């Protein structure tokens, strides 16, 4: 089966610019996650969707980050305006059940550099 | 803050040797999972151990869990150059999202 797809793979922007990332989960997976992974650290959950509803966005900096999952399939994550500390890899993952005991499948990530 | 902390932060061994990585966490968990991340790639699920289990095996992987000490270890036996990667533990505390540790970078020298 096809894995989790993400684009773009790399993005370089100036601070205060906006940027958007796209994720296409594994077909049929109801749960979708966006993680932020800063260099040298483990992934940190930003937002979790169940179908097109938000389950957990407690760690999403809502003043600059937004995410949506239209029709419960693809998802986009947006940063506006970007700050230097947003430089990180943004990982999308999906799983077939809401319970975290189900395996999460990760995409290759988008590496963002903010100058 | 991150729930799990891996130890050591970095590990370098020769091919054929065993590699042991440890993970400590702070709060009660439902299960603990280990993931591998190759350079420039996403994470790959390796193994899950539930809170009522003490040991689990999968191929060359052996995971132990000590809930009284809030710690877990991942043992990779007969390591190969292809095992070079970062390894993360992730805990499920019942909040429906995994919390990842900071990872151990493993280098296996051929």
A82-114 CB burial, b ≥16 within 10 A, e <16: beeebbbbbbbbbbeeeebebbbbbbbbbbbeb
> What pLDDT score was predicted for residue B6?
85
Tell whether the model's pLDDT for residue B39 goes beyond 90. Answer: no
Note the pLDDT tens digit of each residue in A68-89.
Answer: 998 889 999 999 999 999 999 9
3-state secondary structure B73-90: EEEECCCCHHHCEEEEEE
Interface test with A, best of B29, B31, B43 (most A CBs within 10 A): B43
A100:B97 CB<8 A: yes
Residue in the block written with tokens 């970078």? B105
Per-residue pLDDT for B1 more than 90?
Answer: no
| Residues A104-109, mean pLDDT to the nearest whole number | 92
**Is the CB of residue A33 less than 8 Å away from at least one CB of chain B?**
yes
Rounded mean pLDDT of chain A?
92
Give the A:B interface size as CB pairs under 8 Å.
Answer: 62
How many other C-beta atoms lie within 10 A of the C-beta of residue A13? 17
């Amino acid at each position: 089966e096809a894995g989790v797809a993400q684009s773009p793979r790399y993005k370089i922007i100036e601070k205060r610019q906006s940027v958007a990332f796209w994720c296409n989960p594994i077909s049929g997976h109801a749960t979708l996650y966006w993680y932020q992974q800063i260099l040298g650290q483990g992934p940190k959950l930003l937002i979790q969707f169940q179908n097109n509803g938000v389950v957990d966005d407690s760690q999403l900096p809502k003043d600059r980050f937004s995410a949506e999952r239209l029709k419960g399939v693809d998802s986009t994550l947006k940063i506006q305006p970007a700050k230097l500390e947003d430089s990180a890899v943004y990982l999308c993952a999906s799983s077939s059940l809401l319970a975290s005991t189900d395996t999460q499948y990760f995409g290759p990530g988008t590496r963002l550099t903010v100058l | 803050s991150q729930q799990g902390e891996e130890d050591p932060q970095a590990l370098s061994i020769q091919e054929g040797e065993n590699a042991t990585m440890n993970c400590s966490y702070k709060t009660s968990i439902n299960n603990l999972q280990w993931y591998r991340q190759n350079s420039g790639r996403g994470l790959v699920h390796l193994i899950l151990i539930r809170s009522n289990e003490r040991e689990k095996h999968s191929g060359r992987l052996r995971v132990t869990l000590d809930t009284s000490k809030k710690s877990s270890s991942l043992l990779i036996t007969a390591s190969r150059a292809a095992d070079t990667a970062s390894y993360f533990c992730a805990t499920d505390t019942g909040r429906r999202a995994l919390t990842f540790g900071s990872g151990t970078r493993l280098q296996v020298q051929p």
